Amino acid sequence: MKSSPSIAKLNSRSVIAPVAVPKASDVLAGRLRDLIIQGHFSPGEFLPSERDLVTQSGLSRTSVRDALRVLESEGLIAVKAGRAGGSMVTLPGRESVARSVELFVRSHGIRLASLLECRVAVEPTLARLAAQRRTPSQLEEITRIHERFVASVDDVPRYKRLNLDWHLAIARASGNEPLTALMEAISAPIRDAMDYQHVTTSELRRAAVKAHTVILKAIEEQDDEAAFKRMDRHVSAYRDVATRPNLITAPTTA
Ligand SMILES: [Zn+2]
* Residue whose C-alpha is closest to residue 86's, from 110, 51, 54: 51
* Residue whose C-alpha is closest to residue 214's, from 230, 199, 228, 193: 230
* Residue type (1 letter), 238: Y
Determine how β-strand 77-80 pairs with β-strand 86-89. Answer: antiparallel
Q: Rounded mean pLDDT of 204-208?
A: 89
Tell me how far apart the alpha carbons of residues 92 and 99 are, in angstroms, rounded to a whole number: 11
In which region does residue 82 sit, left (phi positive, over 0), alpha (psi from -120 to 50) or beta (all else)? Answer: left
Is 3 exposed, middle or buried (CB count within 10 Å of its CB: 0-12, 13-18, 19+)?
exposed
CA of 26 to the centre of ligand 1 (A): 44
Q: Rounded mean pLDDT of 63-92?
A: 90
pLDDT, tens digit, for every residue of 49-65?
999 999 999 999 999 99
Tell me how far apart the alpha carbons of residues 32 and 65 are, in angstroms, rounded to a whole number: 13
Residues of the chain with CATH 1.10.10.10: 24-89
CA of 92 to the centre of ligand 1 (A): 29
Tell me how far apart the alpha carbons of residues 101 and 162 are, in angstroms, rounded to a whole number: 23
CA of 238 to the centre of ligand 1 (A): 8
CA of 117 to the centre of ligand 1 (A): 15
CA of 102 to the centre of ligand 1 (A): 20
pLDDT at 204: 85
pTM value is 0.71
Residues of the chain with CATH 1.20.120.530: 95-247
Q: Rounded mean pLDDT of 150-173?
A: 92
CA of 164 to the centre of ligand 1 (A): 7
* Residue type (1 letter), 195: D
Query: Looking at 107-121, 221-235, 237-251, which range is the least confident one?
Result: 237-251
pLDDT at 46 over 80: yes
Tell me how far apart the alpha carbons of residues 180 and 174 are, in angstroms, rounded to a whole number: 8
Tell me how far apart the alpha carbons of residues 68 and 77 are, in angstroms, rounded to a whole number: 8
Answer yes or no: CATH 1.25.40.10 is held by domain 24-89.
Answer: no
The phi, psi pair for 78, rounded to 5°, reads: -120, 130
| C-beta separation of 77 from 67 below 8 A | no
The phi, psi pair for 229, rounded to 5°, reads: -65, -45
Assign domain 95-247 to its CATH architecture.
Answer: Up-down Bundle (1.20)
Tell me how far apart the alpha carbons of residues 93 and 79 are, in angstroms, rounded to a whole number: 17
* Residue whose C-alpha is closest to residue 128's, from 218, 20, 246, 27: 218
* Confidence label for 196 from pLDDT (cuts 50, 70 and 90): low
